């Protein structure tokens, strides 16, 4: 699937954002290595801490459907209903969830629309990460 199509899916998912407290609407589209795509939006809560980000919604949907091999994710976010005017970078918790299921070559795309997007590797946005390899080794940094 092309980036443009994945961005369109993320923009569509953003419309379902449940964000009455922040008014900040986020959409994500996660592409599996086998070509399946899963979308997600942020889902807020009156008690605040149960809020789930769009990226984690997409990951948890995919993993719960049996997927564990991922290629890329697109993230779009901004205040209100109009097209995002800024790039929305993934929060630290979502980067950590990506790190659980993806290797350092996983691509994170932040987009405003189909023509304006930036692409990063997970290793660039989560350097010195903590992950399963550390738990399984006796080596120290």
- DSSP H or E run through 3: helix 3-14
- Per CB under 6 A, 74 contacts ligand THU: no
- Per CB under 6 A, 24 contacts ligand THU: yes
| 55 is a catalytic site residue | yes
Q: Which of 5, 15, 22, 103 binds ligand THU (CB under 6 A)?
A: 22
- Per CB under 6 A, 114 contacts ligand THU: no
CA angle 39, 81, 19 (to 5 degrees): 65
Task: Provide the minimum distance between the beta carbon of 90 and ligand THU in the complex, in angstroms, as a whole number.
Answer: 4
Residue 33 per-residue DSSP state: T
Contact indicator for 67, 58 with CB cutoff of 8 Å: no
Closer CB to ligand THU, residue 24 or residue 114? 24
Residue 80, sorted as left (phi over 0), alpha (psi -120 to 50) or beta, turns out to be: left
Contact footprint for ligand THU (CB under 6 A): 19, 22, 24, 26, 42, 44, 51, 53-55, 77, 90-91, 94
């Amino acid at each position: 699937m092309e980036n443009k199509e994945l961005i369109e899916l993320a923009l569509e998912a953003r419309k379902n954002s449940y964000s009455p407290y922040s008014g900040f609407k986020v959409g994500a589209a996660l592409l599996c290595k086998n070509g399946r795509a899963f979308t997600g939006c942020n889902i807020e809560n009156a008690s605040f801490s149960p809020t789930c980000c769009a990226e984690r919604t997409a990951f948890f949907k995919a993993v719960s459907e049996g997927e564990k091999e991922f290629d890329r994710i697109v993230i779009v976010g901004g205040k209100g209903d109009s097209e995002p005017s800024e790039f929305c970078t993934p929060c630290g918790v979502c980067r950590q969830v990506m790190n659980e299921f993806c290797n350092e070559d996983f691509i994170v795309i932040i987009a405003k629309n189909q023509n304006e997007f930036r692409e990063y590797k997970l290793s660039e946005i989560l350097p010195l990460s903590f992950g399963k390899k550390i738990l399984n080794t006796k080596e120290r940094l």
